Structure 1
Amino acid sequence: MHAIVVSRPGGRSALEYTEVADPSPGPGEIVVDVAAAGVNFTDVYHREGRYPLPTPFTLGSEGAGTVSAVGPDAGDVAVGDRVGWVGVLGGYAEKAVIPANRAIPLPEGVSFDLAGAVLLQGLTAHYLTHSLYEVTTGDDVLVHAAAGGMGLLLTQMVKLRGGRVIGTVSTEEKEKLAREAGADDVLRYDGFADAARELTDGKGVHVVYDGVGAATFDGSLAALRLRGMLALYGAASGPVEAFDPQRLNQGGSLFLTRPTLAHYTATRDELLWRAEEVLGWVESGALKVHVSGRYPLADAAQAHEDLEGRRTTGKLLLVP
């Protein structure tokens, strides 16, 4: 089979499209014929070595496909089952080995493309809006990169919970997408903190969902109201530099957290709860998933280039 292997972290040239041996499942494992693999900034961080991994490794932490082999003690997973997964490396390949207890059954009404596009970002948006900060009716919520894959899902989930979305985008085209997803107000990045305060009668927002990082961090803190929460869930523009925690006091007893999906899907029950809700919304049409690009597996470097260049909206997929 073919896979994208990283032997040495670095730029996009580190993505090697190569032939490797077909995998076999061990105890508690299954093999999935990959139909679609999501492309995420987490993959970029792994490729660069920002999130170090033992080399060589196959990229990709979410996907969907059909079970083609089952190892011993794999529970009730069977060959032919349609499944998705998240938080397990190896998705940039024609076949992936995943633990059976991380396999997510897919509803019949959810295609492989939709499942491969929604699981990582959808479950992330779910824990951000339903657990880390439980958005309630009337909350003012600032969503950065509101036209990206995460931003579009966050916007819709905040609206499902009755919140008001103030989104940031970089272009008119992206503003249109953010508004179509339900954003109440859309801002450009320049001066967004002051603009957000104006939109909230000077109070500031209850929570900021920030996956951009270094470029927006200071403004995100400045946009918060008294005892507001900054959920820094990513760093697309680079990592945030060290700062004095006293700034949280001076800003109004603010809260700052740097969460990760793994800690909010730590048990199978929690994983399935989030997945069933997200996939149920997708199947019913309550949650729209915007897939903006499908790339052959061999073109993984191009997918990364487009993602890093901020030339995309919605979600990118690799299709083996």
Structure 2
Amino acid sequence: MTTQTQRIVITQTGGPEVMRYEDAVLPDPGPDEIVVEHTAIGLNYIDVYFRTGLYPAPNGVPFTPGNEGAGRVTAVGGEVTGLQAGDRVAYVGPLGSYTRHRIIKADIAVKLPDTIDDETAAAMMLKGMTARYLLRKTFDVRDETTLLFHAAAGGVGLIAGQWAKHLGATAIGTAGSDEKCATALDHGYAHCINYVSQDFVAEVARLTDGAKCDVVFDGVGKATFEGSLDCIKPFGLYASFGNASGAVEAFNLGVLSAKGSLYVTRPTIFAHIATRALLEETANDLIDVVSSGAVKIPIAQRFGLSEVAEAHKALEARTTIGSTVLLPNG
């Protein structure tokens, strides 16, 4: 039985105006697939990268953006086990979540417990699992760790601050306003630097008595790269996981030796959930810390799916705080 739905389609890359809201028809799911009726869809900065063409869509245009959603299963393929119609699920997957209904492979869906509501699930999966791989896999954050996290008041940043505090670390954040810094301080950060009015390199040196940080987590990119290297102690790590200000350009590797034999890495979430076992390990860890109350998922903005252009404008203008969700019925 086919499904009538609505979705966002991009036929050429560009500004927010290239996203078009249209009617569509879904076929039946394949043998290993399920149909999910979204109740909430996660908005992430990576969506902007695909919309603008910074990251080319794997299958070219046209495409539907979005990698994250939550809702209920409405149909299952003949070979699917462990899921049935009516189950509540969330997922991070390939492009295509900006839609009311979606067909996905059953093995990327994670069943939701009663302790996690749909909006929270849609807001936390990609950002929360990103925070998890950064703090638990990219660098093993512990109680003796001092870290710097750029864009601390963003969706990933607010989750990471709470999680880092839960692990016993001292987290220093940066943000673009006093208001955002106040929000970061309410979500686990021991200190927050307003990079508009303060030199974050000098402030990190002051806050650490010159010892600097064990690791810098940077989703901003070009604008913060050089300064970040000056915030890391010898043998420390710079972890780049996003390019909100533009991609980091090629640089002389000799800079890393001159600044203390530093390490640099560029991890991605999809490498950390590439198998079902890795997905379950990552998602279960996230669900546990959220269910326990150690990490709360702040949703500060909600937009209807048809209002997605306004959501992207707000995201790019950096006026959003915490997580944003798109509501298919909104």
TM-score of the superposed pair, with normalisation by structure 1: 0.98
Deviations 1:53-89 (A, max 9, x none): 1111111100100000111322221111100001332
CA 1:23–1:209 in structure 2 vs 1: closer, same or farther (change >3 Å)?
A: farther
Match runs of 1:82-231 below 5 Å: 82-189=88-195, 190-231=198-239
Contact 1:137 1:163 in 2 (8 A): yes
> 3-state SS of the aligned residue for 1:67?
strand
Please say which of residues 49-58 and 126-135 is displaced more in the overlay: 49-58
Q: Distance in 1 between matches of 2:215 and 2:28?
A: 45
Task: Choose from 292, 298, 302 the match for 1:290.
Answer: 298
Give yes or no for contact 2:66–2:95 (8 Å, CA) kept in 1: yes
Question: Which residue does 1:76 correspond to in 2?
Answer: 82
| Displacement of 1:91 | 1.1
| Structure 1 residue 218 displacement after superposition | 0.6
Q: CA offset at residue 269 of structure 1?
A: 1.1
Residue identity matched to 1:224: I
Q: Deviation string for 1:129-173 (max 9, x for gaps)?
A: 001100011211001111111110111111111110111111111
Matches of residues 236-275 of structure 1 in structure 2 within 5 Å? 236-275=244-283
- 50, 55, 74: which one aligns with 1:46: 50
Matched position secondary structure for 1:84: strand
The Cα shift of 1:282 comes to 1.7
Match of 2:19 in 1: 15
Partner of 1:278: 286
Percent identity, aligned pairs only, is 42
* Unpaired segments ≥5 residues, structure 2: none
Indicate if the aligned counterparts of 1:23 and 1:96 stay in contact, CA closer than 8 A: no
Instruction: Please report the RMSD computed on the Cα atoms of aligned residues, expressed in angstroms.
Output: 1.0
Which residue of 302, 319, 327 corresponds with 1:311?
Answer: 319
Alignment of 1:35 onto 2:43 = no
Task: State the TM-score, normalizing by the size of structure 2.
Answer: 0.95
TM superposition shift of 1:284: 2.3
CA contact (8 A) 1:87 1:120 kept: no
**Aligned-pair distance for 1:193?**
1.2
Counterpart of 2:64, as a letter, is T
Distance 2:238 2:81 in 1: 40
Question: In the alignment, what sits opposite 2:8?
Answer: 4
**Equivalent pairs, count:** 320
Deviation sequence 1:100-136 (CA, Å, 0-9, x none): 0000010111110000000000000001000110001
How far 1:203 sits from its partner (Å)? 1.8
The answer as to whether partners of 1:85 and 1:102 remain within 8 angstroms in 2 is: yes
